[in-house]
Chains A and B, each alone.
Chain A
Amino acid sequence: MRLAILNSGHRIGTKALFAIIEMASRQPLLDVVKLVKYRPDFYGNLMGMVTQETMRGPSAWSVADRELMAAYIAKNNRCEFCTGAHSAVARLAYQDGQKVSDALLNLSTANLDEPLKATMLMLGKLTREQRMDAQDIKAVLVAGATVEQIEDALAVCFSFNVIGRLADAFGFAVPSPKGLESGAKYLLSRGYR
């Protein structure tokens, strides 16, 4: 990471926690954990609340759907860390790696439910072009998504347009496949708090 404070500026108790996590997972600590635990009163605590509600709160979208959206938003931002991390969670949540790979490779031809596919196309446009109009929303409604589902998807878009930018600006290391798998298990069982 590009800021030394994010690697080694944590309090002693936090450093001890990091050592325990590394020992238990047998993987290097993910840089995102170092970020959320650095001055958590400034960023990590409250952003964790937002992301937990977005990704694990009540929604007509499944957890797997929301993780796939997160991976797709990250892909559109060309954020390697977040694409890897959230496609790993989506694979685990769906128990279907092919579905996730297909969706990220070519969303138009992927075998996804129409409301999900249309919603992801909208999120991709919003992320790339940073604008949205009524026609984009109509296309998602026609595909069968509800207003509430669109709101929930926009919340996912908010969270991962924050996190992806931070990952790239601070220079998060992209974990090994084992590191991604370990992180995915943690996020699926414990969430974002």
Chain B
Amino acid sequence: MSDISRAREMFTRRILDGEGKTTGSERQAAFNNTDGAGPGHSLIDEVAKKANRIMDEVAKKANRIMDEDIAAAKASGLSEDQIFELVICAAVGQATRQYEAGIAALRQTVGEV
């Protein structure tokens, strides 16, 4: 069988913790589909707030994203490289939640294997 766990972990760590044009907390917020608010996240980054709406769309209804949405993200002050990074983190975050939901249901059904 395929084992993507190590490669997926390396990939996730790279996009969240590696070098970038956005901060790690901004990328984590995009990945989690949150605006970073809440206990332990008192420093809400302005960029992450501005990007929050489009990241929510990437996670939930990417096929409805329009040219105007990306243009609005640029107009809010995000550079193209920042949008590139945050969109990737939002997409990987949502796919991760789906994948983990599937694996959890599998484990629940057959026990730990």
Seen from chain A, the residues whose Cβ lies within 8 Å of a Cβ on chain B are: 2-6, 9, 38-39, 41-43, 46-47, 49-50, 53-54, 57-60, 77-79, 122, 126-127, 130-134, 136-138, 141, 147-152, 154-155, 157-159, 161-162, 164-171
Say which residue of B3, B18, B62, B113 sits within 8 Å of A77 (CB atoms).
Answer: B62
Q: Are A59 and B1 touching (Cβ within 8 A)?
A: yes
Max count, chain A CB within 10 A of own CB: residue among B2, B8, B91, B113: B2
Q: Which of chain A's residues have a CB closer than 8 A to the CB of B85? A: 42
Say which residue of B20, B62, B102, B104 sits within 8 Å of A79 (CB atoms).
Answer: B62
Given A3-B84, A46-B7, also A169-B102 (CB < 8 A): no
Given A50-B11, A164-B62, also A2-B67 (CB < 8 A): yes
User: Of all chain B residues, which has the CB nearest A57?
Assistant: B2
Say which residue of A4, A50, A137, A151 sits within 8 Å of B109 (CB atoms).
Answer: A137
Given A78-B63, A152-B2, A155-B2, also A166-B98 (CB < 8 A): no
The answer for the CA separation of A4 and B67 in the assembled complex, in Å, is 12
The answer for the CA separation of A157 and B90 in the assembled complex, in Å, is 16
Q: Which of chain A's residues have a CB closer than 8 A to the CB of B11? A: 46-47, 49-50
Q: Are A147 and B98 touching (Cβ within 8 A)?
A: no
Say which residue of B84, B94, B96, B113 sits within 8 Å of A6 (CB atoms).
Answer: B84
User: Of all chain A residues, which has the CB nearest B18?
Assistant: A42
The answer for the CA separation of A58 and B11 in the assembled complex, in Å, is 20
Q: Are A162 and B95 touching (Cβ within 8 A)?
A: yes
User: Of all chain B residues, which has the CB nearest A43?
Assistant: B88
User: Of all chain B residues, which has the CB nearest A123?
Assistant: B102
Chain B nearest CB from A182 CB (Å) reads: 24
Q: Are B15 and A42 touching (Cβ within 8 A)?
A: yes
Q: Are B2 and A134 touching (Cβ within 8 A)?
A: no
- 21 residue pairs of the A-B complex, CB under 8 angstroms, read A5-B84, A39-B81, A41-B14, A49-B7, A53-B4, A59-B1, A126-B102, A127-B98, A130-B98, A130-B101, A150-B102, A152-B2, A154-B103, A157-B99, A157-B102, A158-B95, A162-B91, A165-B90, A169-B54, A169-B62, A171-B67
The answer for the CA separation of A155 and B113 in the assembled complex, in Å, is 16
The answer for the CA separation of A166 and B88 in the assembled complex, in Å, is 7
Q: Are B91 and A165 touching (Cβ within 8 A)?
A: yes
Q: Which of B56-103 contact A (CB under 8 A)?
A: 57-59, 62-63, 65, 67, 70-71, 80-81, 83-85, 87-88, 90-92, 94-99, 101-103
User: Of all chain A residues, which has the CB nearest B91?
Assistant: A165
The answer for the CA separation of A149 and B106 in the assembled complex, in Å, is 11
The answer for the CA separation of A86 and B38 in the assembled complex, in Å, is 41
Chain B nearest CB from A146 CB (Å) reads: 9
Say which residue of B10, B20, B88, B98 sits within 8 Å of A157 (CB atoms).
Answer: B98
Say which residue of A53, A150, A169 sits within 8 Å of B58 (CB atoms).
Answer: A169
Q: Which of chain B's residues have a CB closer than 8 A to the CB of A58? A: 1-2
Q: Which of chain A's residues have a CB closer than 8 A to the CB of B71? A: 2
